[in-house]
Amino acid sequence: MGEPKPKKTKREIWFKFGRFITGVTIACFFLPFFGVSCEGVDVITVSGADMVGGCKPGGLIAEADEQGKGGGMSGGGDMEMKIDNVKREPLAIAAFALALVAAGLAWVRSRKATLGALCVSIACVGALTGLYIKVGGDMKKAVDAELSKKNTGSQVMKDTKVDTGSRFGLWLVVLGLVGTGVLAARALKEEDGPGGFAPSTPPPPA
């Protein structure tokens, strides 16, 4: 009978899956982070990448505006909105930059790099928390002001349910960062040994 395969250490799990998780986390920045929905249908969506690059949002209204058909919410055709490019958000830029740093550190087999990935992941979650509070609040105020200004006497719009809030892309990024932090923290708990972290300083000459 052959010898049983040695159990993978937490450090090896970090080296194997840390790169994958951080890569997927960066990809999730291109998914919707925030949105405006009308009767359960997203009419405007804003991704993390949109807030980093100042790009045009997605959603039904944005698509209609791009095709030259004008904007209109389902159930409220009297409401027209001009869709401008998304305002660049410093917190989104900071979060994206931190996620890139975490991804880069995941490729370095050293204790310092693993510790850096853990700290950067925590900082990125903090930046996204601030982004959630700021952008979510700003978006709600903007939609409420638009509805109040243009549809004060519209019974159709009064009966139409319009919601704003976060979307799945934001929470996938947070989940990826939490996973990165957990794997990195578990790897740091293990003692150095054969096949472990690369030494921070080169060995002395023989």
Closest CA to 195 of 2, 3, 14: 14
Closest CA to 127 of 176, 175, 71, 174: 174
How large is the average pLDDT for residues 37-57?
90
> Where are the domains positioned within the chain?
10-189
Q: Are 100 and 65 in contact (CB under 8 A)?
A: no
At 91, the pLDDT band (50, 70, 90 cuts) reads: very high
Q: What is the pLDDT of residues 112-133, one digit of tens each?
A: 999 999 999 999 999 999 999 9
Residue 12 has pLDDT above 80, yes or no: yes
Q: What is the pLDDT of residue 82?
A: 63
Q: Which of 4-8, 68-72, 128-132 has the lowest mean pLDDT?
A: 68-72
**How far apart are the C-alpha atoms of 48 and 166, rounded to whole Å?**
11
Q: Which of 62-76, 118-132, 151-165 has the highest mean pLDDT?
A: 118-132
Sign of CA dihedral 140, 146, 151, 152: positive
Taking all residues of the chain, what is their mean pLDDT, rounded to a whole number? 82
Q: Which of 58-62, 97-101, 162-166, 201-205 has the lowest mean pLDDT?
A: 201-205
First to last CA, the chain: 41
- The whole-model pTM stands at 0.79
Q: What is the pLDDT of residue 71?
A: 45
E runs forming strands in the chain: 32-38, 41-47, 162-166
**Under DSSP, is residue 9 helix (H, G, I), strand (E, B) or coil?**
coil
Q: CA separation (Å) from 47 to 28, 65, 115, 168, 196?
A: 9, 18, 29, 10, 38
